Amino acid sequence: MNHNDPTPFLRIEGVHKFYGADHILRGIDLSVRRGEVVCILGRSGSGKSTLLRTVNALEPITAGRVILDGSLIGYIEKGGCLYHLPAEELARQRARIGMVFQHFNLFPHMTVLENITMAPQLVLKQTRKAAEAQAMELLEKVGLADKAYAYPASLSGGQQQRVAIARALAMRPELILFDEPTSALDPELVGEVLGVMRQLASEGMTMLIVTHELRFARDVSHKVVLMHEGRVAESGPTSKVMSAPRTPAAKTFFSTLT
């Protein structure tokens, strides 16, 4: 892990986002270093998902920029103006960024193995044999080697989410975005998904995670970012922000943490 590398791998600079007249993101600055685990926290409606979606250009932005490893995400700059990136280049950028959502979005008509091997074959041009060998390794890693030929509907929510994580990993991403990956799960299934994420973190994966799991954030993340009404209310090293919040929004938010 080299999260002591001072150069940010991901930089979000002055990002604003409007939906019609609604000013949803109001000037967000945030950086993530390689190997760093950053949790985005905040109340419902504070803009967490919208912000996460700007990172892989699922959400066009009104102002500001998102830079991954030195390259503008989603746009190209010419003569001081930003233009949308051509679809092919956008796809290349997105292949570097994994995304795991609250709802697993597995393809229901495909087996677990097919779900995991599809994108590596299509996008990375892996052979079926290579993609399947990699998928089996990843299934082993998330504890589901025996489910390769199962269909998603026959799996629990926790198992489906672990498949979704394996599917994201199969693209060998350099950064993974998680949007409330455990929010749709029954409480007894949350731990197995957080366990896989914890393991990824310890292996040095760069992760940007929207979560309501404050204990997980406290135990696993290097940095937390508290969003409040479209702004970063407070951010910094996890232990510092969570044990001694400075701003009123953060004090209120973390007062529920035991």
Ligand X SMILES: Nc1ncnc2c1ncn2[C@@H]1O[C@H](COP(=O)(O)OP(=O)(O)OP(=O)(O)O)[C@@H](O)[C@H]1O
Residues found near ligand X in the complex (CB under 6 A)? 19, 22, 24, 42, 44-50
- Using CB under 5 A, which of the segments 7-15, 34-42, 45-53, 87-95 binds Mg ion? 45-53
The nearest distance, CB 48 to Mg ion, in angstroms, is 5
Residue facing Mg ion at closest CB distance = 49
The nearest distance, CB 140 to ligand X, in angstroms, is 32
Given the complex with Mg ion, which of 49 and 115 has the nearer CB atom? 49
From candidates 49, 54, 159, 211, binder to Mg ion by CB under 5 A? 49
Phi, psi of 96 (to 5 degrees): -85, -10
Write down the residue that tokens 């991403």 correspond to: 173
The nearest distance, CB 84 to ligand X, in angstroms, is 18
Binding partner of 24, given ligand X, Mg ion, none, CB within 5-8 angstroms per partner class: ligand X
Q: Which pair of tokens denotes residue 217?
A: 């954030």
Beta-ladder partners of 99: 177
Count of CB atoms situated within 10 Å of the CB of 102: 16
Task: Please answer whether residues 96 and 68 qualify as being in contact, where contact means their C-beta atoms are separated by less than 8 angstroms.
Answer: yes
The nearest distance, CB 7 to ligand X, in angstroms, is 28
Binding-residue total with Mg ion (CB under 5 A): 1
Binding partner of 126, given ligand X, Mg ion, none, CB within 5-8 angstroms per partner class: none
Binding partner of 173, given Mg ion, ligand X, none, CB within 5-8 angstroms per partner class: none
The nearest distance, CB 101 to ligand X, in angstroms, is 11
Given the complex with ligand X, which of 22 and 188 has the nearer CB atom? 22
Q: Which residues in the 104-143 window bind Mg ion by CB under 5 A?
A: none
Q: Which of 89, 198, 207 is nearest to 143 (CA)?
A: 198
Binding partner of 228, given Mg ion, ligand X, none, CB within 5-8 angstroms per partner class: none
Residue 235 binding Mg ion, by CB under 5 A:
no
Given the complex with ligand X, which of 4 and 44 has the nearer CB atom? 44
Given the complex with Mg ion, which of 49 and 134 has the nearer CB atom? 49
The nearest distance, CB 234 to ligand X, in angstroms, is 15
For 147, residues 6+ apart whose C-beta sits below 8 A from its C-beta are: 112, 139, 155, 159, 163
Binding site for Mg ion (CB under 5 A): 49
